[in-house]
Copies of this chain bind each other. A is one copy, B any other.
């Protein structure tokens, strides 16, 4: 697709802005019907959508079919959520004219949409985190029009999805401008984020790009929230009891999680931490064997593949890193570093997007705790443990709870459930706003603000107070 011109971008923003007032006030059932029509529309696109995405992203058919199911599933999840108004955290304090020292007013607090939201498509999820993805679904559910910037690496997939959304909007008689799409690079994104008609930003991508958007939004005359989900190395801690009891299955599970989707998940476990002993040695050997058997697949796009190859080369040349599995092209790589050296070099905490892991070998349990304490913000942190590890696990868990948004016991961080209890978001730099999630029903809360009505008669209150 050719890039949108400034006047095309302006026109999309004007339409979104005009749609906002009417769209934000539709009953939940009407917005729900729209979301469900989008889900059906994505399904009706059938095999051609999957084939297009396969061609543009190098992702496989099974993965993409699963991703479409997830995408339609979360659209329907939000549709179900907004059929009831419970999600608004409605709070009512009834008035009392006889209260002393002065009458108590009637106060009713609810949530209203922020206004048009700019959504940035991600490269690694052409459906679930792109044009029809979680940010779009949650913003539309909240009552906010969406202006989406398609990710340049899968334009045709984005076009198909955008058309399905626009058709669903027509079918369900949504106001014109409730959804719009623009095409372009960083300048297009910056134009959206700086525009006064945009009231919030949803983004999934790199730390560099996410931080740039955050800084732009913060420098506006009227700053707006930015929900950027960025990098994370999703550390996995292996306690001694767990390694002693389940070394094989942990090694297999770790290798599978590290290489799932060519390591192109934001929950990819790029760091694994253990205390040096025989089981740990065996874990490293087994993991290396698994990884060396995994063939490299094509990555999402040439620029990501190049970044990965360069990153692996840099790690191979890093004086503190020992090469356990040497990746070439997009094949998996594994490196080892001592706890002390990991603690001394902050750059080893930087995410390398792709199937490359760093095994941090600690000299002691205390050093393992120190590694936990030295981590920056993470989407997830995982601990493998057995009952014999419990006291040490509790101590480590307390540290990791200050670092991550989701803590995983005896599992792996890839595979993110989409439901009411998911938290996908953690302290900076994992995201720009740890107070929110980009997955699950709570994601709707990113795009609303509270408002209180004092002493209004029933006929002037929003219908959802149920009067």
A interface, CB within 8 angstroms of B:
21, 25, 89, 91-93, 102, 104-105, 107-109, 112, 114-115, 214-215, 218-219, 222-223, 225, 376-377, 390, 393-394, 397-398, 401-402, 404-411, 415, 417, 419-423, 425, 427-429, 432-437, 442, 448-457, 459-460
Query: Which residue among A89, A104, A401, A423 has the maximum number of chain B CB atoms within 10 Å of its CB?
Result: A423
Q: Report which of B89, B407, B428, B454 forms a contact with A408, defined as CB distance below 8 A.
A: B454
Contacts A92-B421, A390-B460, A422-B107 known; A407 to B222 CB distance under 8 Å? no
**Docked-complex contact A459 and B390, CB < 8 angstroms:** yes
Which B residues lie within 8 Å of A105 (CB)? 408, 411, 417
Known: A402-B115, A419-B107, A429-B222. A397 touches B451 (CB 8 A): no
Known: A109-B422, A225-B435, A417-B105. Contact between A452 and B91, CB under 8 A?
no
Once bound together, how far apart are the Cα atoms of A323 and B434, in whole Å? Answer: 50
Question: So how many copies of this chain end up in the complex?
Answer: 2
Question: Chain B residues near A434 (CB, 8 Å)?
Answer: 114, 449
A-B contact pairs, 27 of them (CB 8 A): A21-B398, A89-B89, A91-B421, A92-B421, A105-B411, A108-B421, A109-B421, A109-B422, A115-B402, A214-B218, A218-B218, A218-B219, A218-B223, A390-B460, A394-B460, A401-B451, A405-B451, A406-B452, A406-B454, A407-B456, A409-B454, A409-B455, A409-B456, A411-B454, A423-B450, A435-B448, A436-B450
Whether A423 contacts B452 by the Cβ 8 Å rule is: yes
Contact of A451 among B376, B394, B423 (CB under 8 A): B423
Chain B residues whose C-beta falls within 8 Å of the C-beta of A459 in the assembled complex: 390
Please measure, in the bound complex, the distance between the C-alpha atom of A342 and the C-alpha atom of B427, giving whole angstroms: 44
Closest-by-CB residue of B relative to A408 is: B454
Find the residue from A102, A218, A219 having the highest chain B CB count within 10 A: A218
Complex contacts, A377 vs chain B, CB 8 Å:
222
Known: A455-B408, A455-B409. A460 touches B421 (CB 8 A): no
